[in-house]
Amino acid sequence: MNQIAADFARRLACNAEAVCRHYLSNGRREGGTWSVGDADNTPGRSLMVRLTGPESGQCAAGRWIDFATGEHGDLLDLIARTCRLDAFRDVLDEAGRFLSLPDAAWPPSRPRRTPTPSGSPEAARRLFVSAKPIGGTIAETYLRRRGITDVRGLSALGFHPRCFHRTHDDAPRESFPALVAAVTDLNGTITGVLRTWLARDGASKAPLATPRRAMGQLAGHGVRFGKVTDAMVAGEGLETMLALREVLPTMPLVAALSATHLPALILPPGLRRLYIARDSDPAGHRAAERLGARAIAEGIEALILTPLADDFNADLGMLGREALMASLRGQLTPEDAAGLLRVEARPDRQPRQ
């Protein structure tokens, strides 16, 4: 297979400009190179493909690099990235089709998979898999600006440097960095994602009319932190639950992402006590009451956690960790209150942006 891949890469390099015109049609030739914004065919000049050069080495024809992200490789890698192909077998199939090679030129393969429907759970899974951990990224910067400093072990969160956004169906696609959160069922299967598009310095959300959108199957599911045993906290917003995680690091938490989805949250078997982190608006009150009534009907103790401000992220940002712990201490059972994080008083975090 390695020899086949090398042969394909060589054939593609001999036709490097044709490859670029086909897969990166929004770019243009500049001397002996092809320039485009990125491997998603965005207009710009961050990604450069060599159209001429020796047969091997970093300056060989067909070698490319994205100066914004550091990604690089040969034209097989570029086809995989541009067409969002995960399996190497599919990359060879696509390259063979472009080169108009007969099937006998490489081992037969399964039929090419159909495109993933936009907004489907499979599309959500692919988006999350393509993201990277948030540590050291502007997603971490964004969370820290909201008072959320502990990003260790947040496997449900990822960072995507170029996540597409469309204002409406007929609008052109734009790309912004994004914090992506995996929505999962009780078995841990990804059913959707929440995308929060960010300003390019991470100081706030991106300047968009709708900087936050979810995709996939959300009803009944949520963004989960920690493994549930007999108690957990459920609430609406992602940052609300992450704020609670700052002072309740051992308590399992689930963000249902909206007041509409919170009452429909599927509760895990064996749950004995459910805390509901209520937002301080009419929709938040109704959602908490409905989920609480459902839990009680299922034989689960339901307790409402009430913030002092609009939500618990607001409490953390404006009041500080100590005040947040103090307000929670009287709302938790003694058993769960013992899990409140013991920390030295720190300066209050900056208010939410």
Task: Show the 3-state SS of the chain.
Answer: CHHHHHHHHHHHHHCHHHHHHHHCCCCEEECCEEEECCCCCCCCCCEEEECCCCCCCCCCCCCEEECCCCCEECHHHHHHHHCCCCCHHHHHHHHHHHCCCCHHHCCCCCCCCCCCCCCCHHHHHHHHHHCECCCCCHHHHHHHHCCCCCCCCCCCEEEEEEEEECCCCCCCCEEEEEEEEEEECCCCCEEEEEEEEECCCCCCECCCCCCEEEEECCCCCEEEECCCCCEEEEECCHHHHHHHHHHCCCCCEEECCCCCCHHHCCCCCCCCEEEEECCCCHHHHHHHHHHHHHHHHCCCEEEEECCCCCCHHHHHHHHCHHHHHHHHHCCCCHHHHCCCCCCCCCCCCCCCC
pLDDT score of 106: 53
Q: What is the mean pLDDT of the chain?
A: 88
Residues 194-212 have a mean pLDDT of 94
Q: Tell me the pLDDT tens digit for each residue of 249-304.
A: 999 999 999 999 999 999 999 999 999 999 999 999 999 999 999 999 999 999 99
**Residue 349, pLDDT above cutoff 50:** no
pLDDT score of 352: 37
Model confidence pTM above 0.75:
no
Residues 322-331 have a mean pLDDT of 92
Half-sphere CA count of 149, side-chain side, radius 13 A? 11
Percent of the chain with pLDDT over 70: 91
Q: How far apart are alpha carbons 319 and 176 in whole angstroms?
A: 31
**Residue 87, pLDDT above cutoff 90:** no
**pLDDT category, 105, cuts 50, 70, 90?**
low
- Of residues 283 and 7, more confidence is placed in 283
pLDDT score of 134: 94
**Residue 133, pLDDT above cutoff 90:** yes
pLDDT score of 173: 79
Residues 135-155 have a mean pLDDT of 93
> What residue ranges define each of the domains in the chain, with the CATH number in brackets?
2-105 (3.90.580), 116-216 (3.90.980), 219-353 (3.40.1360.10)
Q: How far apart are alpha carbons 44 and 26 in whole angstroms?
A: 8
Percent of the chain with pLDDT over 90: 65
**Residue 7, pLDDT above cutoff 90:** no
